Amino acid sequence: MWQPEAAWEPVPGGTGPSTVGVWRYESGGRGYVVKRLEPPRPGDPHELADPHHSAYWRRAADVARSGAVTDTPGLRAPHVEVQEDAEGVTLVQPEVDAASNGGLFVAHNLARFAGADLGDVPWLAGDQLRQRLARTERLGGWPTLARTTVADLAFRIWERRPVLMAALDALPQVPQHGDPVPDNLRGRLGDDVLAIDWSTVGTGPVGADLGYWALSAREEYDPLVDAYCGGLPPGVADREQVLLGARITTVYTVLSRAEWALARAAMGEGALAGKYRHPAVAPHLRALQRHFPQIESLLG
């Protein structure tokens, strides 16, 4: 039976439905990160075994073995050693040093990556936002937001899902990292971002990675869009297409995150409105407030 080494230190976070754990260790004066993945078991969600689904259990290993993103423009992956056994897969990579990448720099490079050629591989993820919303729908949509002052707005955006998902489908489909958050885009190699956690890499509507990144970036929306458009190869998409893909991704993600945070807080005693300042809730509500202009733009 596979077991982590005694000297490895557990790393918080980085978990997923197929992740057993993440650890860190040092060797030769350098830090390394280990992630252990195990295949789905009987009764697990079927999407874990679907190479097209964003939750596919072994995509990170397939990416590392293929070398598909080791020399791509904009975003690159560090070298990852893949060790397979009968029980699962172990990924070992050097620790990536933080480079304090600015928001505009990242946005520009997400667009450069959107022009990459990932090759003809069967494990690229697709329809990520639709898949996330399908999970939300199975949980009842956004019922906690329906108890707040944004209830009408959230209802209208939720009901517009079919129209806005169709609008995403009609946009140019480009390579995307799939999980562009600061912890995953922390390194730099020359003019490129050295990115980690490629478990959701795939294709999606132009601007989608930008819309997800905008939720973490400090910069305002328009400068981020301009930086992204400046990095797109000629002929991929125009600014209006980028803006639409980014807005739809931002809006559905920020509302879903607010619902998640409020729903967890609502399980405790007391009125819901009294929990808006809770440290686990307030950041999501501030993000929701910050992106109101993007929400209003999609109301039709």
Per-position DSSP letters for 143-161, written without gaps between them? TTGGGSTTHHHHHHHHHTH
> Which is it for the CA torsion 246, 249, 251, 253, positive or negative?
negative
CA proximity to 61, closest of 42, 88, 87: 88
HSE (side-chain half, CA atoms, 13 Å) at 30: 9
Summarize the confidence of residues 100-124 as an average pLDDT.
96
Per the DSSP assignment, residues forming a β-bridge with 175 are 203
What architecture is the 9-94 domain classified under in CATH? 2-Layer Sandwich (3.30)
DSSP SS3 for 189: strand
More confident residue, 265 or 115: 115
- DSSP code of residue 102: -
CA distance 239 to 232: 10
CB contact at 8 A, 59 and 77: no
**Two tokens, residue 103:** 């928001």
| 3-class secondary-structure state, position 95 | coil
CATH architecture of structural domain 103-297: Alpha-Beta Complex (3.90)
End-to-end CA distance of the chain: give it in Å, rounded: 56
Q: Binning pLDDT at 50, 70 and 90, where does residue 266 land?
A: confident
Specify the amino acid at residue 130: R
Quick one: pLDDT band at residue 143, thresholds 50, 70, 90? very high
The model's confidence at residue 14, banded by pLDDT at 50, 70 and 90, is low
Those residues with Cβ within 8 angstroms of residue 16's Cβ, 6 or more apart along the chain or in another chain: 55, 199
Write out the residue limits of the CATH 3.30.200 domain(s) in the chain.
Answer: 9-94
Report pTM: 0.94
pLDDT in tens, 230-243: 999 999 999 999 99
The whole-number pLDDT of residue 269 equals: 78
The pLDDT tens digits of the residues spanning 22-79 come to: 999 999 999 999 999 999 999 999 999 999 999 999 999 999 999 999 999 999 999 9
pLDDT at residue 275 in the model: 86
CA dist 123 → 49, 50, 201 (Å): 10, 8, 9
What is the 8-class DSSP label of residue 25?
E
pLDDT digit string (tens) for 245-263?
A: 999 999 999 999 999 999 9
pLDDT at res. 38: 96
Please list the residue range(s) of the chain that carry CATH number 3.90.1200.10.
103-297
- Over residues 149-156, the mean pLDDT reads 96
pLDDT at 270: 78
Residue among 171, 274, 297 at smallest CA distance from 222 = 297
Kindly state the tokens that stand for 151.
């209830």
Confidence of residue 148 (pLDDT cuts 50, 70, 90): very high
Mean pLDDT of the chain: 95
Determine phi and psi for 54, rounding to 5 degrees.
-65, -20
